[in-house]
Amino acid sequence: MIFIISGGTGNIGSYLLKRISKPENTLIVLTRKQSKKENKKIYLNWDELPEISKIVNQLKKNEKIVFINLAGENIGQRWSKKTKEKIMKSRVESTEKMVELAKSVGADLFISASAVGYYGDTGEREVEESGPKGNLFLSEVCDMWEKSAKKAAEHGIKTAIARIGVVISREDKFIKYQLLPIIPIVANPFGKGENYISWVHIEDVINCFEFIINERERVFGKGENLIIFNLCSPKPAKAKEIVKELSEHTGRKIIFPVPTFLLSIVMGSDFVKETIKISQRVVPKFLLSKNFEFKYKEIKSAIERTLKE
């Protein structure tokens, strides 16, 4: 199988590459760094996109071609007007380039990331895939991101758009900060922590991608080219539960409340509003209907597994 991946050096991408790096697979990873080759793993700079068609034509021997689109500016930084423009532009433009490339090489499957940020602040309300788009900045980002990816389906390519929750892994910035050895406390930026967080363990993200690839005929309906699904645990957790589990599993009993005003100074008020104070109770109705098995349904087991890595 031939995999063409954008965002391969990010949190999800790095785990994905480890899973699919097998002798029978060829991996082409788009990068902003210098191009290089490592056995059957080819790193190509975005400026060398035309080279991919040549490489695929040389490799293709009735092999399936799968695109996995994960590229996008990191949202975990201080939001300024310029940063927000980069967050939007990076996702839309990279997706458009990937779609055109997928069309040119005759891709069999196009998997594209989106996020549960699509729904905005849902409060206590449980939201499935049919839920309406929110009215926040990240809602607009996800909407434009998805519209770009949908063009692959219009070209007749099987297209799966995953609205991904907060990914629980050791590479997650929030968790990494809690594990700094010089700070024997758990920092709590969530206040009372009554807001819901739609989360997913990194293993379940990768397992889901493999599920979509291996069970494509069952996942897509007859004559269907587009599916959009929530990729998050069936059991969203309240923020205070996540902080509690981190405290228990790290042995750090002191929980330090981080003042909102300080977070706003460091990260910007919009960032705090849309990523820390927001409540999202999103559930994966589509995946459950297709009998996808989540390995980590409870936040307790997800945190425990993550801290053991």
* Two structure tokens written together for 276: 């820390």
Sequence-separated (6 or more) residues with CB below 8 Å from residue 85: none
- What the block records as the tokens of 80 is 């300024």
**What pLDDT was estimated at residue 182?**
56
pLDDT tens string 237-259: 999 999 999 888 888 887 888 88
pLDDT of residue 306: 92
pLDDT tens profile 41-73:
889 988 888 888 888 887 767 789 999 999 999
Query: Which residue segments constitute the domains of the chain, with CATH numbers given?
Result: 2-308 (3.40.50.720)
Check residue 123 and give left, alpha or beta (phi > 0: left; psi -120 to 50: alpha): left
Task: Note the pLDDT tens digit of each residue in 151-199.
Answer: 999 999 999 999 999 999 988 877 877 766 656 788 888 889 999 999 9
Cα torsion at 123, 128, 133, 137 (round to 10°)?
60
Q: What is the pTM of this model?
A: 0.94
Supply angle C-alpha 130, 118, 234, rounded to 5: 60
Q: What is the pLDDT of residues 255-297, one digit of tens each?
A: 888 889 898 998 999 999 999 999 999 999 999 999 999 999 9
Provide the pLDDT for residue 140: 98
Return the structure tokens found at 258: 């981080």
**Amino acid in position 23:** P
> What's residue 234's pLDDT?
98
Cβ(160)–Cβ(215) below 8 Å: no
CB 51 within 8 A of CB 4: no
In this predicted structure, the answer to whether residue 4 has a pLDDT above a threshold of 80 is yes
